[in-house]
Structure 1
Amino acid sequence: MKRIIAGTIGNCVHVAGTMNFLTLAEKEGYETEFLGIALSIDKVIEKILELNPDIVALSYRLTPEPLEEILIELKEKIERQNINNVKWMFGGTEPTAKIAEKSGIFHKIFYGTEDIDEVIAYLKGKDYKKQEFYPKDLITRINSKYPYPILRHHLGLPSLEKTTEAIEKIAKAEVLDVISIAPDQNAQEYFFEQDKMDHRLDGAGGVPLRSSEDFSKLYEAAQVGNYPLLRCYSGTKNLLPFAEMLKETIDNAWCAVPLFWYSDLDKRGPRTLREAIKENQQVMKWHGDRDIPVEVNDPHHWSLRDAHDAIGVAAAYLAAYNAKKMGVKDYVSQYMFNVPAFMSPQMDLAKMLAKIELVESLEDENFRTYRQARAGLASFPADLNQAKGQLASSAYLAMAIKPHIYHVVGYCEAHHAAGAEEIIESCKIVRGVIRNEFLGTVDMTKNLIVEERKKELIEEANLILEAIKVLNPTVKDPLSDVETLARAVEIGLLDTPQFKGNSAAKGELTTRLVNGALYPYDTREGRVISERERIDRIIKNNEKKSVV
Structure 2
Amino acid sequence: MKKIIAGTLGNCVHVAGIMNYLNLADQEKYYTDFIGIGKSVDEIINLINEKKPDIVALSYRLTPEPLYQILEELKEKIIENNIKDIIWLFGGTEPTSLVAKEYEIFHKVFDGSEDIDEVIAYLKGQDLSKEESYPKDLINRIKSKYPYPILRHHLGLPTIEETIESIEKVSEAKVIDIISIAPDQNAQEFFFDQENMDERLNGAGGVPLRSKEDFKELHNAAQRGNFPLLRSYSGTKNIIPFAELLKESIDNAWCAVPLFWYSELDGRGPRKLIDALKENQEVMKWHGERNIPVEVNDPHHWSLRDAHDSIAVAVAYIAAYNAKKMGVKDYIAQYMFNVPASISPEMDLGKMLAKIELVESLVDDDFNVYRQARAGLASFPTNLYQAKGQLAASAYLAMGIKPHIYHVVGFCEAHHAAKAEDIIESAMIVRGILKNEFLGSVDMTKDKNVLERKNTLIKEAKVIIDTIESLNLSVEDPLIDPATLTEAVRVGILDAPHLQGSKIAKGTLKTRMVSGALYAYDEKQGKIINEEERIDIILKEAISKQ
TM over 0.5: yes
C-alpha distance in structure 2 between counterparts of 1:275 and 1:381, whole Å: 38
Q: Corresponding residue for 2:245?
A: 245
Q: In the alignment, what sits opposite 2:503? A: 503
**Between the two proteins, what is the percent identity of the paired residues?**
69
Deviation, structure 1 residue 438? 2.9
TM-superposition CA deviations, 1:51-84 (whole Å, max 9, x none):
1100001111222222111100110111111111
Give 1:114 deviation, angstroms: 1.0
3-state SS in 2 of match to 1:223: coil
- State the partner residue of 1:345: 345
SS of corresponding position for 1:7: strand
Whole-angstrom CA distance in 2 between matches of 1:195 and 1:60 = 67
Q: Distance in 2 between matches of 1:225 and 1:541?
A: 60
- Partner residue, 2:378: 378
- Cα-to-partner distance string for 1:325-345 (whole Å, 9 max, x where unaligned): 100000000000000001011
Measured against aligned partners, the alpha-carbon deviations of 1:224-257 in whole angstroms (never above 9, x if no partner) come to 0000000000001110000000000000000000
CA distance in structure 2 between the partners assigned to 1:125 and 1:288 by the alignment: 33
Residue 226 of structure 2 aligns with which residue?
226
Which residue of 1 is the match for residue 287 of structure 2?
287
Question: Aligned with 1:145: secondary structure?
Answer: coil
Aligned residue number for residue 319 of structure 1: 319
1:95 deviates by: 1.7
Q: Which residue of 1 aligns with 2:261?
A: 261
What is the match of residue 90 of structure 2? 90
Amino acid at match of 1:107: H
In the alignment, what sits opposite 1:7? 7
The CA deviation string for residues 244-285 of structure 1, in whole angstroms up to 9 with x for no partner, is 000000000000000000001110001110111010000000
Distance 2:208 2:126 in 1: 39
Deviation of the 1:403 alpha carbon: 0.4
**Larger displacement relative to structure 2 (6-15 or 67-76):** 6-15
Query: Which residue of the partner structure matches residue 192 of structure 2?
Result: 192
Distance 1:160 1:85 in 2: 53
Give the Å deviation of 1:112. 1.4
1:27 maps to: 27
Alpha-carbon offset, residue 191 of structure 1: 0.5
Offset, 1:488? 0.2
2:449 alignment counterpart: 449
Per the normalisation by structure 2, the TM-score is: 0.99
- Whether 1:330 aligns to 2:334 is no
Partner of 1:141 in structure 2? 141
Runs (4+) of structure 1 exceeding 2 A deviation are none
Give the AA of the match of 2:107: H
**Higher alpha-carbon deviation: 7-16 or 459-468:** 7-16
Q: CA deviation at 1:37?
A: 1.6
Give the secondary-structure state (helix, strand or coil) at the position aligned to 1:227.
coil
2:516 is the alignment partner of 1:522: no
Corresponding residue of 2:458:
458
Query: Matches of 1:18 and 1:382 in 2, distance apart?
Result: 39
- The one-letter amino acid of 2:310's match is A
The separation in 2 between residues aligned to 1:42 and 1:383, in whole angstroms, is 56
Are 1:76 and 2:76 an aligned pair? yes
Q: Distance in 1 between matches of 2:426 and 2:352?
A: 23
Pairwise CA distance, 1:433: 0.3
Q: Which amino acid aligns with 1:295?
A: E
CA apart distance, 1:118: 1.0
- What one-letter code is carried by the residue in structure 1 that aligns with 2:44? V
Residue 208 (str. 1) matches residue 208 (str. 2): yes
Structure 2 counterpart of 1:297: 297
Q: What does residue 17 of structure 1 align with?
A: 17
- Which residue is 1:540 aligned to? 540
SS in structure 2 at match of 1:240: helix
Q: CA deviation at 1:539?
A: 0.4
Distance 1:91 1:477 in 2: 58
Q: Tell me the secondary structure at the aligned position of residue 237 of structure 2.
A: coil
Determine the C-alpha separation between the residues in 1 that align with 2:438 and 2:261. 37
Map 1:376-455 to 2 at 5 A.
Answer: 376-455=376-455
> How far apart, CA to CA, are the structure 2 residues paired with 1:147 and 1:431?
14
Unmatched 5+ stretches in structure 2: none
Q: Secondary structure of the residue that 1:372 maps to in structure 2?
A: strand
Q: Which residue is 1:40 aligned to? A: 40
- SS of match in other structure, 2:69: helix
CA distance in 1, matches of 2:126, 2:261: 43
Q: Which amino acid aligns with 1:79?
A: I
Shift of 1:85: 2.5
Question: What one-letter code is carried by the residue in structure 2 that aligns with 1:485?
Answer: L
Structure 1: 5+ residue runs without aligned partners? none
The amino acid that maps onto 2:175 is V
Deviation at 1:7, TM superposition (A): 1.1
**Which residue identity does 1:463 align to in structure 2?**
V
- 1:384-437 Cα distance to aligned partner (Å, 9 max, x none): 111111111100100000000000000111111110001001111101101112
Q: Which amino acid aligns with 2:184?
A: D
Comparing 22-31 with 433-442, greater Cα deviation is found at 433-442
d(CA) in 2 for partners of 1:327 and 1:181?
A: 25
1:14 and 1:228 mapped to 2: Cα distance? 36
* 1:24-61 residue CA offsets vs partner (Å, 9 max, x unmatched): 00000001011112221111111111111000011112
